[in-house]
């Protein structure tokens, strides 16, 4: 809960937040100067489907509202805090912090989230205990991730029914879990409310502390496909995850970052490299075409592409790699 004074500050900061210029960083905006601005929805991809009220800071995507992205995600409507959390894949607290800082106002102290004693859901069963021809087993094997079977659980009932329960570890600590659908349910991933994915990273099982690099991917499955010294960012990289990277530098000697994310994440990837990590790490990129991801490429192709990675020292290097798609 926030106090009345904090709520008043948030209202003032929201009123002055540059929502149009912020949105331009993530999608194409059609701004005719009126109170209503239209844009390509960065969530479902609908052309000119996202309407944003310049003054009220309210958003409405007509395509998402019609089922284009699944009503369980946001029903096509959002206030400014919700819109930022969805587009930037961050926590509500980080979204509020972003709004307040844009107006030069002090942050709101976050409510401390207590991790439960039993991290994994009680209704989860060991995946290795179910039939080998069960869809949860078959799909994991199809994705060439059968090595995860001993650690993965599965739910057949409850909130996480028909989902894998993937343990999320940072270095050697179990920090949470991802409930990932294996049967087409939306949203594809669910996380417990106490798990702050925006401030931690998934570290792959195969980690060699003698190697100086880490490959950053978007998901657990992508990280486990790359396998060696790979990170899953639970979506696109967030500013709050920089502290986790610095912990990896201190504890595991990571000095090089290899960014391997799909084309949809290019803008956020560029911001993370140029604004957050360049002062601390040597950066490299492995550009992926639209629709590609490490899991779809497979381990061998990932290894080959990582060997051909491109060093990045400034914005010009990124433009050489991505061209006008970065703009």
Give residue-wise pLDDT tens across range 49-90: 999 999 999 999 988 876 554 444 577 888 998 899 888 877
Looking at the DSSP bridge assignments, the partners of residue 169 are: 174
The answer to whether residue 277 scores a pLDDT higher than 70 is: yes
- At 246 the pLDDT is 93
- At 71 the pLDDT is 42
Cis status, amide bond into 187, omega within 30 of 0: yes
Determine contact, residues 236/265, Cβ cutoff 8 Å: yes
Residue ranges of the chain assigned to CATH 3.90.580.10: 4-102
> Which of the two residues, 198 and 162, has the higher pLDDT score?
162
- State the SS3 of the chain: CCCHHHHHHHHHHHHHCCHHHHHHCCCCEECCCCCEEEECCCCCCCCCCEEEECCCCCEEEHHHHCCCCCCCCCCCEECHHHHHHHHHCCCHHHHHHHHHHHCCCCCCCCCCCCCCCCCCCCCCEEHHHCCCCCHHHHHHHHCCCHHHCCCCEEECCCCCCCEEEEEEEECCEEEEEEEEECCCCCCCEECCCCCCHHHCCEECCCCCCCCCEEEEECCHHHHHHHCCCEEECCCCCCHHHHHHHHHHHHHHCCCEEEECCCHHHHHHHHHHHHHHHCCCCEEEECCCCCCCCHHHHCHHHHHHHHHCCEEECCHHHHHHHHHHHHC
Which class would CATH give 4-102? Answer: alpha beta
The answer to whether residue 267 scores a pLDDT higher than 90 is: no
Please tell me the pTM assigned to this model.
0.68
pLDDT band at 199 (very low <50, low <70, confident <90, very high): confident
Q: Which of 34-48, 57-71, 208-222, 230-244 has the weakest average pLDDT?
A: 57-71
The answer to whether residue 305 scores a pLDDT higher than 80 is: yes
pLDDT digits (tens, 9 = 90+) for 110-167: 655 566 777 888 889 999 998 888 999 999 999 999 999 999 999 988 889 999 999 9
- At 221 the pLDDT is 97
Query: What CATH number labels 196-327?
Result: 3.40.1360.10
Residue ranges of the chain assigned to CATH 3.40.1360.10: 196-327
- At 226 the pLDDT is 96
Q: What is the mean pLDDT of residues 304-308?
A: 94
The answer to whether residue 324 scores a pLDDT higher than 60 is: no
- At 69 the pLDDT is 47
- At 203 the pLDDT is 97
- At 62 the pLDDT is 87
The answer to whether residue 100 scores a pLDDT higher than 50 is: yes
Length of the chain: 327
Q: What is the mean pLDDT of residues 170-183?
A: 92
Phi, psi for 139 (deg, rounded to 5): -65, -35
Q: Half-sphere exposure of 93 toward its Cβ, with a 13 Å CA cutoff?
A: 17
Q: Which of 30-34, 131-135, 274-278 has the weakest average pLDDT?
A: 274-278
> Which of the two residues, 192 and 91, has the higher pLDDT score?
192
């Amino acid at each position: 809960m926030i106090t009345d004074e904090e709520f008043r500050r948030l209202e003032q900061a929201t009123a002055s937040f540059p929502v149009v210029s912020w949105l331009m960083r993530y999608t194409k905006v059609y701004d005719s100067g009126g109170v209503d601005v239209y844009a390509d929805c960065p969530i479902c991809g609908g052309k000119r489907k996202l309407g944003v009220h310049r003054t009220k800071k309210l958003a409405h995507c007509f395509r998402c509202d019609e089922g284009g992205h699944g009503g369980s995600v946001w029903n096509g409507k959002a206030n400014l805090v919700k819109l930022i959390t969805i587009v930037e894949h961050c926590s509500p607290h980080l979204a509020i912090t972003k709004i307040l800082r844009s107006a030069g106002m002090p942050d709101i102290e976050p409510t401390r989230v207590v991790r439960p004693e039993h991290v994994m859901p009680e209704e989860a069963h060991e995946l290795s205990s179910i039939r080998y021809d069960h869809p949860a087993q078959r799909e994991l094997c199809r994705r060439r991730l059968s090595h995860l079977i001993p650690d993965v659980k599965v739910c057949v009932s409850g909130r996480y029914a028909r989902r894998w329960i993937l343990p999320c570890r940072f270095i050697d600590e179990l920090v949470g879990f991802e409930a990932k659908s294996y049967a087409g349910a939306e949203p594809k991933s669910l996380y417990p409310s106490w798990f702050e994915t925006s401030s931690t990273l998934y570290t792959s099982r195969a980690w060699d502390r003698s190697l100086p690099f880490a490959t950053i991917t978007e998901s657990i499955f992508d990280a486990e496909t790359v396998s060696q010294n790979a990170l899953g960012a639970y979506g696109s990289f967030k500013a709050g995850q920089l502290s986790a990277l610095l912990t990896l530098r201190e504890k595991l000697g990571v000095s090089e970052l290899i960014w391997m994310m799909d084309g949809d994440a290019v803008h956020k990837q560029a911001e993370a490299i140029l604004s957050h990590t360049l002062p601390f790490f040597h950066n490299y990129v492995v550009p992926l075409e639209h629709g590609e991801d490490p899991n779809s490429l497979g381990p061998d192709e990932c290894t080959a592409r990582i060997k051909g990675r491109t060093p990045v020292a400034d914005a010009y290097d990124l433009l050489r790699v991505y061209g006008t798609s970065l703009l």
